[in-house]
Amino acid sequence: TQVISGSMDYTVKVWNLETGEEQFTLTGHSRSVNAVAVTADGTRVISGSDDKTVKVWNLETGEEIATFIGDGNFHSCAVAPDGLKIIAGDAGGMVHFLKLENQGA
């Protein structure tokens, strides 16, 4: 079982829940990571950052799959139950609905 965390050091970390050990680190943001979400099938991680981006990562390989650029810092994100849409909220109060293509998972 894994737990995902966003950090002020601009990274997303993947942890082993049973051992408490860090499994790996996802790098690519240029500011603090404020929000993370995982797709229902557990294959992808979504991260929202103060760098005004929402990134999609392959949880098995750690590869960055996609980047969405917004107008404000992202403070929340979620994945729709169908796994095809990302909902992300920015600091300006805007809610963004992003289509998640079935790539890289």
Is residue 54 in some structural domain?
A: yes
The boundaries of the domain holding residue 66 are: 2-99
CATH of the domain at 78: 2.40.128.630
In a domain, 104, yes or no: no
Written as tens digits, the pLDDT of the chain (105 aa) is 899 999 999 999 999 999 999 999 999 999 999 999 999 999 999 999 999 999 999 999 999 999 999 999 999 999 999 889 999 999 999 999 999 875 444
Beta strand segments in 1-105, E: 2-6, 11-16, 22-27, 33-38, 44-49, 53-58, 64-69, 74-79, 85-90, 95-99
**DSSP at 15:** E
Number of domains in the chain: 1
